[in-house]
Amino acid sequence: MAQYSFKKITVVPTAKDFVDVILSKTQRKTPTVVHKGYKISRIRDFYMRKVKYTQQNFHDRLALVLTEFPVVEDVHPFYGDLMNVLYDRDHYKLALGQLKTAQHLIDNVARDYVRLLKYGDTLYRCKQLKIAALGRMCTIMRRQKQSLEYLEQVRQHLSRLPSIDPLTRTLLICGFPNVGKSSLINKLTRADVEVQPYAFTTKSLYVGHMDYKYLRWQVVDTPGLLDHPLEERNTIEMQAITAMAHLRAAILYVMDVSEQCGHSLEEQLELFDSLKPLFVNKPLLVAVNKVDILRPDDLPDAKKAVLERLRTDAGIEVLAMSTVTEEGVMDVKMKTCDALLAQRIEVKIKGKKVENIVNRLHLAKPKPRDDKERPAFVPPNARVRKRATSAKALGIPLEPEVELPKPSRKLEREIELEMKEDYILDWKKHYLLEHPEEKYDPIPEVYLGKNVADFIDPDIMEKLEQLEREEEMREAAGFYDSDNEEETEEMKDIRETAAKIRKKKRLIVQANREKRRTNRPILGRRVLKRLPPRRSTSVAMETETTVADDDVDDDDQMDTGEERSRIALSRKRKRESSQSRARSVSRVPPRDKSGLSRPELRAKAKKLERIPWREQMKTGRASESDRRIRSSKPKHLFSGKRKMGKTQRR
């Protein structure tokens, strides 16, 4: 794998969190009620399910950790050596191996105890086997405390590593500390690497990206190197050595010609010679930095000889630049990128795959038809125009005898400038028709690929006049006249009937709603026996509905005095009966006082009624189904073996 996404690795929990999460999940996701009276097979299944569920959770969580962490042998050698430098390959493998062993041990413990649970003969024995199985699993996980903590630190460090693709086009900047490597990457890319006037400011690898020749390039800034043996190099320097050894990149060795970095040109050349084995088969350029302070031409003869020896003996191109004034920075960029592109093309041509591609390529060379030479022909107008353009670009006055040819036709832009506000873009003048005079006809010959003449009726005007005459004859004969009076009388009867139906329906709906009301006071049987018989609200509503219907249907009867007196009498009786019911109900004592004769007993009952609410407010439970655990140490997770006779677990 060329590139590995270390930022997607899941957080590794501590051993305590691991155990607490798994046990809590087992308690929440599996049944929690079992009784002595159950069949023994049901009791065995109950506890076997808990053991298997706990084992599966441990197995899945450990498998997630083992699969997300990279295997050193499976990643690119650059990442493998970088992890060995930063974390020690052996320690890393040991931590993952211990988790793998713990996974196998938990699986074996669960398998053994499930086998024992199959022969459990009592609820107590099955319960003890379940507790022993979960206890052994938790003990195995608690022993992995150091491995889990180490892997979490490795995960945090891996997530902070830059995403480097070892196979893409790469420029690798190396050299002594404080020679201007970080300043150069800041100029070439948008990377914001810290720059300070002291050595070893850069302590890890930094990556920036740039574009050149429509291609994406990555630029890697390495920590500074000192000239001493490989065994004496620290972790910071070994990161740069790993990058130079494994990345397929163009090496840009930066030197400080002003020697402000604290190292002379001879020392910088010695470091270059010691790193030469890492530059084999890679494009190599040397960039002499800080020429704004001291130029290579102003160096003493001894220093010039050092640079000249680098050019002649090694055959390496030496480029001058300054990251402060940006002099020569773009030249260094272009030459380094071109060298890497040429080297990559050369490698591909030498490979085996290029043969299949070359066999498919064919360059056609046309045969001459005769012996006559036909040189390239350039029109004289084009020559004059080209000469005028170059003279204008260089600021040279054009020769007076040279006259520019006028264009053959006027451009639309010129017409627009002449006409100004009166200009209208006219597309119809470019139409190519058989009869040019038809360009501006309102109806075209062809529209949307169809002949318009096929859809035009030549007798359309005569047909329209005939239709108009028919309409006038119908209006004169009274065809459109309507008998409004008869229609109005009929509609009036229909509207009156519909109004009565709607009113009746509204009253029925209102009566049904009164029947379904549930907020009426609920009385006991003894109280209901003492109440006088009364009509329900729905019956009273039906009476009112009947009266209302009579009121709507028989308008003549309402005019008589006898009907009015009958309705008034019924309303009076109804009012008296409701008042008598209210008086009888008010005589009944409230429910909280009906069973207690003395006031002190009532006060005591009120006090006892409030006690359960106080307890519920202390625990903060919403209801019986609330599973929130207030205690930091839940008893069902931390309780040990119970003594004889103790069956209560919580």
Q: Where are the alpha helices (DSSP H) in 15-144?
A: 15-29, 40-68, 77-87, 89-117, 123-142
Q: What is the mean pLDDT of residues 118-124?
A: 91
pLDDT of residue 549 exceeding 50, the answer is no
Q: How confident is the model at residue 649 (pLDDT cuts 50, 70, 90)?
A: low
Residue 625 has pLDDT above 60, yes or no: no
The average pLDDT across 505-522 equals 77
Chain center to CA of 489: 70
Say whether pLDDT at 504 is over 50: yes
CA distance 120 to 130: 11
Q: What is the pLDDT of residues 368-416, one digit of tens each?
A: 888 888 888 888 888 888 888 877 766 667 665 555 556 567 888 888 8
* pLDDT tens-digit map of 435-475: 888 788 777 677 777 877 777 788 888 998 999 999 899 88
Six token digits for residue 25? 């999940």
Backbone angles phi, psi at 387, to 5 degrees: -65, -40
pLDDT at 425: 87
Write the pLDDT tens digit of every residue in 473-482.
Answer: 988 888 877 5
Q: What is residue 528's three-state secondary structure?
A: helix
Residue 97 amino acid letter: G
Q: Where are the beta strands (DSSP E) in 228-308?
A: 249-256, 284-289
Of 493, 490, 501, nearest to 552 by C-alpha is 501
Q: Quote the tokens at residue 72.
A: 């050193």
Q: In the numeric block, which tokens belong to residue 210? A: 């740039």
* CA dist., res. 595 & res. 604, Å (int): 13
SS3 220: strand
Please give the structure tokens belonging to residue 273: 């010679």
- φ/ψ (deg, to 5) at 412: -65, -35
Encoded tokens for 623:
């209801």
Q: Provide the pLDDT for residue 400.
A: 56
- The band of 585, judged by pLDDT with boundaries at 50, 70 and 90, is low
Q: Which of 339, 345, 206, 236 is nearest to 279 (CA)?
A: 339
The CA-atom distances, in angstroms, between 283 and each of 171, 210, 250, 346, 638 are 10, 19, 5, 12, 65
In eight-state DSSP terms, residue 480 is T
Percent of the chain with pLDDT over 90: 19
Amino acid sitting at position 201: T
pTM assigned to the model: 0.50
Cα–Cα distance between 335 and 318 in angstroms, integer? 11
Q: Average pLDDT, stretch 137-164?
A: 88
Backbone CA torsion sign across 11, 13, 18, 20: negative
State whether the Cα torsion 86-340-282-224 is positive or negative. Answer: negative
Least confident interval from 97-111, 138-152, 269-283, 530-544:
530-544
Number of continuous H segments (helices) and E segments (strands) in the chain: 23, 8
At 537 the pLDDT is 46
**What is the overall mean pLDDT for the chain?**
79
Task: Report the 10 Å Cβ neighbour count for 338.
Answer: 14
Cα separations in angstroms, 240 against 76, 212, 612:
16, 25, 71
Tokens of 422: 């009166």
Q: What is the pLDDT of residue 558?
A: 42
- Determine which helix (DSSP H) or strand (DSSP E) holds 254, and give its type and residue range: strand 249-256
Nearest to 57 by CA among 69, 45, 49: 49
Which amino acid, one-letter code, is at 568? Answer: A
Give the residue-averaged pLDDT of 592-616: 74
Q: What residues form DSSP beta bridges with 289?
A: 256
Per-residue pLDDT at 417 exceeds 50: yes
Query: Does residue 221 sit in helix, strand or coil?
Result: strand
What's the pLDDT score for residue 373? 86
Q: Which residues contact 452 (CB under 8 A, 6 or more apart)?
A: 443, 444, 445, 446
Structural domains in the chain, sorted by start? 6-157 (1.20.120.1190), 162-350 (3.40.50.300)
Lowest-confidence region among 52-66, 125-139, 402-416: 402-416
Q: What is the full DSSP assignment across 306-322?
A: HHHHHHHHH---EEE-B
